[in-house]
Structure 1
Amino acid sequence: MTNTLLGGLSAEEFLAEYWQKKPLLVRQAVPGFTGVVTREEIFQLARDPDVESRYVTHDNHDWEVIRGPQKAADLRNKKRPWTVLVQGLNLFCPDGDALLHRFDFIPQARLDDLMVSYAVDGGGVGPHFDNYDVFLLQGIGQRRWLLSDQDDRSLIEDAPLKILQDFRPVHDWVLNPGDMLYLPPQWAHNGIAIGECTTYSIGFRSPTYQELAQQFLGYLQEAIQLDGIYTDPDLRRQANSAEIGDAMVDRVAESLRRITWSRDDVRRFLGAYLTEPKAHIFFDSPDEPLEHDDFLDACAEGISLDPRSLLLFTEGQFFLNGEPVHVEPCDQAILQGFADRRRLDSIAGLSEEGTALLYDWYCCGFAHVSDDLMD
């Protein structure tokens, strides 16, 4: 499957030759693909207040962006080219979640979400660049992609989008249904709809080191424990009572040197940080949860992670939706497979503690035993 998706390349070849290095155009990456949602379903999601969406319209250099929920009237606009973009399609559409995880040859810790954009003729978001990797898979219709590796990233002032002032493309490709384009970070690009079209964007997380540092310091704030209180038995009278003296600075500096961290601290931080759901994500518990024994019987048909759940592991430690999870050593191999494939066809071999853990996840809405129990 990956071989077709990457145009005959193995995942290893793609990572070595293209990942974060240069673009890759794949004709018929997903043969016969026209999308996982209809136009009407895209519009319905765009009008939902619980779904992130943007409506972008333009006329020459005049751009307008409206954040959701969208108005039905705007989605029938025929005066100017427009596009509507829906984030997190994988959270609301099982087929979208399955499409996103076809890209698990990149670690799930790096996967972000699946976005779908619908555009009328001429619609797009203008020439821009992203700071993350993205796969652009064409659904219905055609889209023309202009690409540039230019160093000039000056933006149009006061525009509601980050649009490049001087875009100089070096590639000009038209994608048909099932075609796909991979773009590394910093490659400028402009996608222009040729008639009605949809494009599915598989994006990846690329936090800045500043963000990682801030989040890690916040993690340490809750994790560290420094004993004692500030004391100064050798205090001497100062010439100026309002001055913060060198002795106080030195004493506090010495105490702060006790704040240290290890590689294991970083590992635990990443587990919690990378699995933390976005702020707008909520989980729905079953209205009438199965009793424990009935749950075990239902697991004979398999159990799957909710599309909103992220289960990661590292060195025998497991993290689900921002929280560490204790897993018995005898259950770790099975739950590693659950994390990788996001589904277990059988829970045979799990200990009582392991099945109890899955039952708790089911009751919290983190996992589901079958499609008919997800409502």
Structure 2
Amino acid sequence: MKLDLLGGITAQQFLDEYWQQKPLLVRQAFPNIKTPFSPEELAGLTCDTETSSRIIIEHGKTPWQVKHAPFTEKDFTSLPDTHWTLLINDLEHYYPELQNILQKFRFLPDWRIDDLMVSYAADQGTVGPHLDEYDVFLIQLEGKRRWQLDSDVDTEKLVPDISLKILEEFTAENDWILEAGDMLYLPPNLAHYGVAQGGCMTYSVGFRAPDREALLSAWLDEFNEHPELNQRYGDAKRQIQPSASEISQRDIQQLKAMMRNMLDDNGGLFESFLARHLSESAATAFSLEDENPSFEEFTDYLKNPTKRLTWIEHENGLDVFIEGNALPMPLSHKEALITLTDSMEYNAQTIAELIQADPIYLELMGTLVAQGFFISADIE
């Protein structure tokens, strides 16, 4: 199905031709997009809660001054009229209804989504020319922002003596002005430079991928919890070699095979580790929890934006994980699990109809509410 969100191409065509390869500009990907908060409300949020947020001021006390939350009212009243930006991560945690934005991108798996960040910038506000190691969809929410791209930069040449990784040299290859509703997709490691044209707001939907070092470190921690899987190198029927100091190619290949067996020959442990590990979202000081998490009929429910659920299927059932907590389920729950995790919100009538059609939904809703994956819509 062709999607207006992606400029009239299918999700698969986007994945084949653009994802992690080249940028895509879509005019009016979000027509009539609404702003659910004011700049003043965003500022208040960073003063009242433990948000992951920062203010970046160009030509402040230093060429690129960075302040980190928590902020006070004075931090905002003392800002200059231009050349500053407020960035707030995990915005969907504080405004759960913004999960409807994330829902648009669920042709990609949930474990790849990092967060929804908002940038509010005064005129000429910017974080400088830089590149990121992750995919991002930039959605213009309010006002205008100029975006320039450069695919051929020297990543080693950074502005010296500052905490930000700002590129020292940048030559624009593309130059676009985004207005409210426009969207720009950027693959990883593509240099970009956004500058506010008057006051503006921009959403950034970020997609992080686990890096090899972090994944290997986490897997070794898991593997070490199972000493029964450990094994020593064996070399029965080995051949005489000309030099005792040489490590033969045969030995190298067998040692590689032993290491690969850590992933393949473990009774499904690695698959379960992956599902659990990828269900663990980044730590945050903010949480949304019902005081008494138990399913109640005639109640509207939202997916908890601070919780992530993953699952894998094997011949004996489903291994379901919510924030690293295991919930084994029978295969008979698969269809209901897919249905219930396919949307970010459910009204009471829809839930009642599902339960009436199949009692499995009652059991599963009870489990997901008890685990905090679904929360009452009234908790907002």
Contact 2:143–2:201 (CA under 8 A) maintained in structure 1 = yes
* Distance of 2:214 and 2:138 partners within structure 1: 26
Contact 2:55–2:86 (CA under 8 A) maintained in structure 1 = yes
Q: CA deviation at 1:71?
A: 2.4
Q: Determine which of 135, 138, 141 is the counterpart of 1:136.
A: 138
Contact 1:152–1:166 (CA under 8 A) maintained in structure 2 = yes
Q: Determine which of 357, 369, 374 is the counterpart of 1:362.
A: 369
Structure 1 residue runs of 5 or longer lacking an equivalent are 229-253
Q: Determine which of 269, 279, 287 is the counterpart of 1:265.
A: 269
Q: Determine which of 252, 274, 278 is the counterpart of 2:278.
A: 274
Helix, strand or coil: the match of 2:98?
A: helix
Q: CA deviation at 1:339?
A: 2.2
Task: Specify the alignment match of 1:305 in structure 2.
Answer: 303
Structure 2 residue runs of 5 or longer lacking an equivalent are 232-254
Deviations 1:219-264 (A, max 9, x none): 2223444699xxxxxxxxxxxxxxxxxxxxxxxxx9xx79834373
Deviations 1:176-213 (A, max 9, x none): 00011010111100100011000000000122111111
The alignment's TM-score, normalised by the length of structure 2, stands at: 0.81
Contact 1:155–1:162 (CA under 8 A) maintained in structure 2 = yes
Task: Specify the alignment match of 1:333 in structure 2.
Answer: 335
**Alignment map for 1:1-375 (pairs within 5 Å):** 3-59=3-59, 62-76=63-77, 77-78=79-80, 81-153=83-155, 154-225=157-228, 260-262=262-264, 264-281=268-285, 283-288=287-292, 295=296, 297-298=297-298, 303-315=301-313, 316-343=318-345, 345-346=350-351, 347-348=354-355, 349-351=357-359, 355-368=362-375, 370-372=376-378, 374=379
Query: 1:53 is aligned with what amino acid?
Result: S
Q: CA deviation at 1:159?
A: 1.3
Contact 2:143–2:199 (CA under 8 A) maintained in structure 1 = yes
Change (3 A) 1:87 1:2: farther
* Distance of 1:34 and 1:120 partners within structure 2: 19
More deviation, 8-17/75-84: 75-84
Contact 2:84–2:126 (CA under 8 A) maintained in structure 1 = yes
Helix, strand or coil: the match of 1:29?
A: coil
Helix, strand or coil: the match of 1:359?
A: helix
Contact 2:50–2:286 (CA under 8 A) maintained in structure 1 = no
* Distance of 1:350 and 1:75 partners within structure 2: 54
Change (3 A) 1:324 1:282: farther
Contact 1:132–1:206 (CA under 8 A) maintained in structure 2 = yes
Query: 1:19 is aligned with what amino acid?
Result: W
Contact 1:36–1:95 (CA under 8 A) maintained in structure 2 = no
Deviations 1:10-56 (A, max 9, x none): 11111111111111111111111243432122112222342110110
Contact 2:122–2:199 (CA under 8 A) maintained in structure 1 = yes
Contact 1:89–1:97 (CA under 8 A) maintained in structure 2 = no
Helix, strand or coil: the match of 1:313?
A: strand
Identity of aligned residues (%): 36
Contact 1:283–1:366 (CA under 8 A) maintained in structure 2 = no
* Distance of 1:322 and 1:159 partners within structure 2: 37
* Distance of 2:201 and 2:220 partners within structure 1: 41
* Distance of 2:36 and 2:7 partners within structure 1: 21
Helix, strand or coil: the match of 1:122?
A: coil
Helix, strand or coil: the match of 1:341?
A: coil
* Distance of 1:227 and 1:197 partners within structure 2: 56
Change (3 A) 1:8 1:226: closer
Query: 1:371 is aligned with what amino acid?
Result: A
Number of corresponding residues:
339
* Distance of 1:330 and 1:69 partners within structure 2: 47
Q: CA deviation at 1:4?
A: 1.2
* Distance of 1:225 and 1:355 partners within structure 2: 39
Helix, strand or coil: the match of 2:168?
A: coil
Helix, strand or coil: the match of 1:222?
A: coil
Q: CA deviation at 1:284?
A: 4.6
The alignment's TM-score, normalised by the length of structure 1, stands at: 0.82
* Distance of 1:39 and 1:197 partners within structure 2: 9
